[in-house]
Amino acid sequence: MNTVAREHRLMDSDWFQVLRKVLTSLGVILTTLFGLLVITFVVGRLVPADPVISVIGDQADQAAYDRVYHLMGLDQPLWRQFLNYVYQVAHFDFGQSHLTKNSVAADLARVFPATIELATLALIIGTTLGVPLGVMAAVRRGSWFDHIARVVGLVGYSMPIFWLGMMIILVFYAYLGVIPPGGRVGIFYEGLVEGPTGFQMLDAALAGEWELFFNAFHHLITPALVLGYANMAYISRMSRSFMLEQLNQEYILTAQAKGLASNAVIWRHAFMNMRVQLLTIIALAYCGLLDGTVLIETVFGWPGLGQYLTTALFFADMNAVLGAVLLIGFISVSVNLLCDVAYRLLDPRTK
């Protein structure tokens, strides 16, 4: 009976620990999102741009100005304006864009799939090239391969991404004419498929429009390669550092002393022990790609969240700016949460 009671207490303790961790994670997420709400609200009030003027223009009379000022709730105390702001965001209402005259939520739903499409392909390129490059550079430390990999990583990590994009457009579009001028698809394919997902290539494949599919891929691959190269440089440098740390561990010497093949030591032992660290880097890189698209989408004319945010900033469309910032913040928090869950699956010691 004492053994059974002890087992029940252990099970109750395990459930309590799991519940405590879930509640702690949820509290961190809610606190982070609330802090992001506070920051965006304060920034929206401190920016030297009059939202009323951006709606009615600078030629309206004082009566029209006062009426719109009241309708926008700007005559209320700041604490009430903040509560109204939180209530609207909780109902996915980010207000109306003064530039497009559409709701910001509708605009974000329209442009965000393009950014996810671009950032995801860039992450795939950066990871599939960066991880093997960094691992092999660590294994061949001090060799010519290691020196070349480090130079490639250093150049990609330090080179301004917008400058690289402009040079590629200048060479491969202006002079060679082998890449499209910009945009998501060619002008003759615009509006051909209005799919349910918003992802151009996926919608084209579902509709069986393979010509549109390859045209969309042709437009996507160049900005994705630029982003992917910068991402590869970061991931390769970190992969090299993680692998060097593992190769200096005693268990590697033990595995080599037992006569295990070199590939088995590297990929089945050292790489498996660095995958949790690598997962953190990849998750951070993906969040960074969402921010980096602001520059690269502007350079390549990619109609995604980055270009939408840049245009909104240029025209002082603060509803659109704050909505885009909140969306990026929410995605970053979600990615970090998924990364934390993946830790527990990959490393039993974290359970």
Residue 194 lies in a domain: yes
Poorest-pLDDT segment among 139-153, 176-190, 223-237, 301-315: 176-190
> Is the predicted pLDDT of residue 145 greater than 70, yes or no?
yes
CA 278 to CA 123: how far, in whole Å?
A: 13
pLDDT band at 10 (very low <50, low <70, confident <90, very high): very low
Residues in contact with 320: Cβ distance below 8 Å, sequence separation at least 6, in sequence order: 94, 97, 98, 99, 100, 104, 107, 308, 309, 312
Please give the model's pTM, rounded to 2 decimal places: 0.82
Six-digit token string for 76? 């209320």
pLDDT-derived band of residue 122, with 50, 70 and 90 as boundaries? very high
Q: Give the count of beta carbons closer than 10 Å to the beta carbon of residue 20.
A: 10
Where a domain ends, among 61, 90, 119? 90
Residues 175 and 298 in one domain: yes
What's 290's domain CATH number? 1.10.3720.10
Answer yes or no: is pLDDT of 339 > 90. no
User: Where a domain ends, among 55, 90, 125?
Assistant: 90
Does 304 lie in the same domain as 166?
A: yes
Q: Compute the distance between CA of residue 164 and CA of residue 170 in angstroms, rounded to an integer.
A: 10
**Residue 4, CB-side half-sphere exposure with 13 Å CA sphere:** 1
Q: How many CB atoms are located within 10 Å of the residue 9 CB? A: 10
278 in the same domain as 141: yes
If one counts every other C-beta atom within 10 angstroms of the C-beta of residue 28, the result is 14
